Structure 1
Amino acid sequence: MEKPQHRLFFLTEALVFPPVDTANSDGLLAVGGDLSSERLLLAYQQGIFPWFDKDSIILWWSPDPRMVLYPKQIKISKSMRKVLRDNQFRLTKNTCFKDVLEYCSSVDRPGQDGTWITEQMKMAYLKLHEKGIAKSYEVWEGDKLVGGLYGIDLGYVFCGESMFSLTSNASKFAFIKLAQELQEKEYKFIDCQLHTDHLESLGAQEISRIEFLKLLK
């Protein structure tokens, strides 16, 4: 079967996305639309996510392959096992979502110029948090917030969006705790979206978009 020809799809007010197999080779599927809670939820349910910078129109993506972590396959190194045993950190959930969002948007990352978490994105995900859909995991060292992550909870899949760390191993701690909790709840996987060496070291792997969508549905 021939792959459908890519034709950039411009979103209107209608809550609809084109078939994901019409995305281009980079995974770009559509442009435009808005970041309403309804559109964002529909996007994640269909394996689509927004990713753009402050000077760009809204861009919607569905890459192939897709990076995922099956919770049972989380890799915990010897050094991290020691961190977990020593109770260096403590974890809270959904107590300071806005702070996690702000840190994820502002912490410097090697090789990354600027952030894709724009003010428009922050407002959209805060609304999703108010609806109980966007959730945060916060890592504390004493009384200081030193790491965390946030994402979209679909009830059977957790779509990770971003994480940050102000001290060594803090974001790893959050990710491991997330995977362990989702394993207990029998979630299918954590959607990590795109490959990074860091995520691969924690057990994430790339699968085809077709396989990803089968698992998502």
Structure 2
Amino acid sequence: MHYLTNDLFFPPVSQANLDGILAIGGDLSPERLLLAYKSGIFPWFEPGDPILWWSPNPRMVLFLEELIVSKSMRNILNRKSFKVTFNQNFREVIAHCQNVKRNGQTGTWITNDMIEAYCNLNKLGIAKSVEVWQNEELVGGLYGIDLGTIFCGESMFSLVSNASKVAFIALVEQLKEKNYKLLDCQVYNPHLESLGCREIKRSEFIAILSNEN
């Protein structure tokens, strides 16, 4: 594992350990975060711990044309009981992602420092959010890093059934319209798989990223 200094540098992702941890330390400056995402790296650590930088192998991604929208989900979308906005309430979305209870987790990896760092990226137009509303109340959403033709999803939340799925589908449809190539979802979970995401080799993911930088 590499220990980062103040230099704006990351080692090659091939040097990550079997768990996907590449480096420790550094900071959450906009410059370092942007370099990380462009290099296929993201921060993920517990409150009170040093910053850990990850580049897992394999990588969970969605090729946009492979999105799966179930029949029941199509019915929900057709009812138009949700309203979707883009990049209107970034701080509220990330705060909900920090506070929402998740199965099998006792805490959160979204620290207060992380919130401030990503809100700074939002002000720079790099981090963006999707909001889902029901009866004028924010009930779901997600946020991530926009690299131009690749969107790196970070976290999502849902206060009512299916709200996070609505956010995810709305994001994918927008990315399709803008001719994006990929939605990065980082690591496997069955919820993402049900939406069409799949694992690819890290080397394949890095090759796609390299062509866009």
Residue 204 of structure 2 corresponds to which residue in structure 1?
Answer: 211
Q: CA deviation at 1:75?
A: 0.3
Q: Does 1:143 align with 2:141?
A: no
Once residues 59 and 153 of structure 1 are traced to their aligned partners in structure 2, the CA distance between those partners, rounded to angstroms, is 21
Residue 3 of structure 1 corresponds to which residue in structure 2?
Answer: none
Q: How does 1:8-47 map to 2 (within 5 A)?
A: 8-47=1-40
Residue 157 of structure 2 corresponds to which residue in structure 1?
Answer: 164
Which of 45, 48, 53 does residue 52 from structure 1 map onto? 45
Residue 106 of structure 1 corresponds to which residue in structure 2?
Answer: 99
Aligned-partner SS, 2:80: coil
| Runs of 5+ unmatched residues, structure 2 | none
Once residues 216 and 89 of structure 1 are traced to their aligned partners in structure 2, the CA distance between those partners, rounded to angstroms, is 33
Once residues 209 and 158 of structure 1 are traced to their aligned partners in structure 2, the CA distance between those partners, rounded to angstroms, is 16
Residue 119 of structure 2 corresponds to which residue in structure 1?
Answer: 126
Q: Percent identity, please.
A: 59
| Runs of 5+ unmatched residues, structure 1 | 1-7
Aligned-partner SS, 2:141: strand
Once residues 20 and 92 of structure 2 are traced to their aligned partners in structure 1, the CA distance between those partners, rounded to angstroms, is 30
Residue 176 of structure 1 corresponds to which residue in structure 2?
Answer: 169
Once residues 140 and 91 of structure 2 are traced to their aligned partners in structure 1, the CA distance between those partners, rounded to angstroms, is 13
Query: For 1:30-77, what per-residue CA distance to the aligned partner results, in whole angstroms no more than 9, with x for missing partners?
Result: 000000000000000000000001121000000000000011111000
TM-score where L is the length of structure 1: 0.96
RMSD: 0.5
Which of 127, 136, 146 does residue 153 from structure 1 map onto? 146
Q: Which amino acid aligns with 1:86?
A: R
Query: For 1:116-138, what per-residue CA distance to the aligned partner results, in whole angstroms no more than 9, with x for missing partners?
Result: 00011001000000001000000
Q: How many residues align?
A: 210
- Is contact 1:72–1:179 with CA below 8 Å preserved after alignment? no
Q: CA deviation at 1:183?
A: 1.1
